[in-house]
Chains A and B, each alone.
Chain A
Amino acid sequence: MKWSTAIAFSIALAFNALGASAAKSAECLACHDDKGASFQASVHGSLSCADCHTDKKAYPHAANPAKVKCDTCHADPAGGVASSVHASVSEQVCQGCHGEVHGILSSKDPKSGTYAANLPRTCGKCHGDSKLTKEHGLTEVYSKYMDSIHGFALTRDGLLVAASCSSCHGSHKILSKKDAASRTNRANIAATCGTCHAGPQQDYLAGIHGQGTSTGNARAPVCTDCHTTHQIASVRTAAWQMKTTATCGGCHERQSDTYRDTFHAQVSALGYIETAHCWDCHGFHDIRPATDPKSTIARANLPATCAKCHSGVTASFVSYQPHADRHDRRAYPALWSSWIFMNLLLAGVLGFFAIHAVFWLNRSLAERRQIRAGGPASE
């Protein structure tokens, strides 16, 4: 057989099959014409009705048809959903996201509910309903996401690469963050965010926080501890940067307190973003302890770190204590003594003259009463 003959034969066969299915569907549409238009345009448009409605091969068919099973073809996604948090939502669980069964569109179709830019709204049907989320003990995340840098990028700027719901949670096999296999489980967060943010992930894993999570330290922060989950803001806004000292202080309480005593913190409180905040000295993703030679606060690197803001930095200058604790007598004896001395001076001087003034006032008033009564002034 020649090749050309073989191809012609195959084409003929295919047309035959298509023609047959079209004919069959047309038969169905004689009664069910309401399903026709959307179905033809759907991702399943090339299939015949009986491909899904397997129990209705011939007419007349049983009045009470069997439920259509998506997993006949889509075994993988359906299996994922069955083991996901959405397993028990409803029997028609696929439709919840993919829309009316006969009109399901490809997720690449901009009209599809599962198209990246439309996905937040689709998930938001449930996760933006405060009554529903409350019922299930969840938080209403839709509006938070929509106000986040990801939400803005996706829905306002139309960046399809921006993270939408499924980017972090997956699509079918969405698991509770408590599940160790979940993409949003603490142990997997860095990898999940790192899918897009590869650079920060690499830095994070090299730093003390990443080292902590890798070695199973439950208290070590992951991406979401600092950046939050759904309402992630741009790190370039002053408003976000202003909040970070409090974020770091959430764990590093003592350092936060001692920072607050410094000039850096005092002017920061007045809204001066240019002053030194935690990350200016410590870095952010690859924060390393002072003992690490690569650390920004390692002794040898301090002049360079301070010089980011201060000009004319010397070795002596960097002996400044950005976290000095005036209450700590042993670690900062000079500072502690100055503090005690100044407090005694303050209390002593003001106390002494306050008492002095009270007696003076009393005596002067007595004298005035005396004069008013016509008596001589007591000089």
Chain B
Amino acid sequence: MESDNRTATITETATSVNGHPATEDTVRYYSRFSVQQRFLHGSLAATFLGLAMTGLTLRFSSSGWATGLAQAVGGFGTVLFFHLFSAVVLTGAFLMHVANLVYRIVARREYSLLWGPTSMVPNLKDIRDFIAQIKWFFFRGPKPKFGRYAYWDKVDYWAVFWGMGIIGLSGFAMWFAPFFAKFIPGSWLNIALLIHGEEAILAVGFIFSIHFFNTHLRPESFPMDLVIFTGRMDENEFKHRHPEEYRQLLESGELEKRRVEPPPQWLKNFGWTFGGVAIAVGFVFLALMIVAFVQE
């Protein structure tokens, strides 16, 4: 009975992810991401694409496509303007996220953010899950039962967090170089540019290949995981992808509180469009970066 159920689960998951509303009216949906979190991801994605496009143009400025692009948009001034504009928006989003975290931890005492099964902070279970996942890769064991965030979700999160700190700080140091030079030696500005560029190459390479695969393009999610756009996940998917979180919510009786309406069609359409464009554009940038990197 149980194994039958599970087979059905996977098949249903596959069809519902692919957008067939065959079982829509009977399927229960649960909230996974708040509107705020979805906005954070959206602004992150949009500004990251803007920063990547203008940043790659600056970093690989001697390659043909970069000079062509700069000319097409009206020269270096425009490229830098959009780079800085995106940077300011992203910095704002990042600071709001941090402020929100601080508020929730300090004022609302949500210590579960700092530690525990729903925290982004890596713990022992992540290491165990990782080892189990490797074993599963080689047919040496069952798939690990992931909690709210799998270890690769945490890597994604902290990679971006670290990247924002490093790229943001070095970027602002260069933007306001004479001001920063009051506190740091000017020779650190050399290091700032180097780190800014290399870390950005890492970020672009990581997001446009690893993040796209881990989250959207692997067979279980292909071609896209809409949950970050709709904020909700159907029950079967939930059970399958985050079995540990599902079990805990079920046992504590909290699950029903997370129950939401199915995502409206317009929201799904929006997710398909936004996500589809982001992935397509991301691949173009990745290709351009690899071309320029090889030419260099």
Give the interface of A toward B (CB within 8 A).
260, 262-263, 265-272, 310-314, 316-321, 324, 326, 332, 334-335, 338-339, 342-343, 345-346, 349-350, 353-354, 356-357, 359-368, 371, 376-379
Contacts and interface: CB of A to CB of B under 8 A. Distances in A.
B279 interface: no
Contacts of B258: none
Contact of A317 (B6, B139, B177): B177
A364 B202 contact: no
A376 B152 CA distance: 26
Contacts of A270: 57-58, 61, 66-67, 70, 75-76, 79
Contact of B75 (A271, A313, A339, A342): A271
A326 B194 contact: yes
Nearest to B57: A270
A317 B118 CA distance: 46
**Looking at chain A's contact residues, is the secondary structure mostly helix, strand, loop, or mixed?**
helix
Given A270-B66, A319-B186, A357 B214 contact: yes
Given A270-B66, A270-B76, A324-B190, A353 B219 contact: no
Contacts of B209: 350, 354, 357
A332 B181 contact: no
Interface in B133-163: 133-134, 136-139, 142-143, 152, 155, 159
A321 B195 CA distance: 15
Contacts, number: 154
Nearest to B9: A377
Contacts of A311: 178
A371 B14 CA distance: 11
Contacts of B11: 371
B61 A267 contact: yes
Contact of B206 (A266, A332, A350, A371): A350
A272 B75 contact: yes
B187 A320 contact: yes
A346 B201 contact: yes
Interface of B: 3, 6-7, 10-11, 57-59, 61-62, 66-67, 70-71, 75-77, 79-80, 133-134, 136-139, 142-143, 152, 155, 159, 174, 177-179, 181-182, 184-191, 193-195, 198-199, 201-202, 205-206, 209-210, 213-214, 218-220
Contacts of A334: 187-188, 191
Contacts of B191: 334-335, 338
Given A316-B185, A377-B7, A360 B195 contact: no
A350 B137 contact: no
A312 B178 CA distance: 6
Nearest to B178: A312
Contacts of A324: 187, 190
**Looking at chain B's contact residues, is the secondary structure mostly helix, strand, loop, or mixed?**
helix
Nearest to A307: B178
Nearest to A334: B191
A357 B185 CA distance: 41
Given A270-B66, A338-B191, A359 B6 contact: no
A335 to B, nearest CB: 5
B61 A335 contact: no
**Smallest CB-CB A-B distances: 5 pairs:** A320-B186, A317-B181, A342-B198, A312-B178, A272-B76
23 contacts: A263-B193, A266-B59, A267-B76, A270-B70, A271-B70, A310-B178, A313-B178, A314-B181, A314-B182, A317-B181, A319-B185, A319-B186, A320-B186, A326-B194, A334-B187, A338-B191, A339-B198, A345-B198, A346-B201, A346-B202, A357-B210, A363-B137, A378-B139
A364 B220 contact: yes
A320 B38 CA distance: 41
B286 to A, nearest CB: 11
Given A269-B62, A335-B194, A345-B202, A350 B210 contact: yes
Nearest to A312: B178
Given A317-B177, A350-B206, A350-B210, A364 B219 contact: yes
Nearest to B166: A342
Contacts of B138: 359, 363
Contacts of B179: 312
B187 A338 contact: no
B178 A320 contact: no
B58 A379 contact: no
A314 B178 contact: yes
B218 A350 contact: no
B206 A349 contact: yes
B210 A266 contact: no
Given A345-B202, A350-B205, A357-B210, A316 B76 contact: no
Nearest to B159: A349
Given A346-B201, A350-B209, A357-B214, 11 more contacts: A263-B193, A266-B58, A314-B178, A339-B198, A346-B198, A350-B206, A350-B210, A359-B137, A359-B138, A361-B219, A371-B11
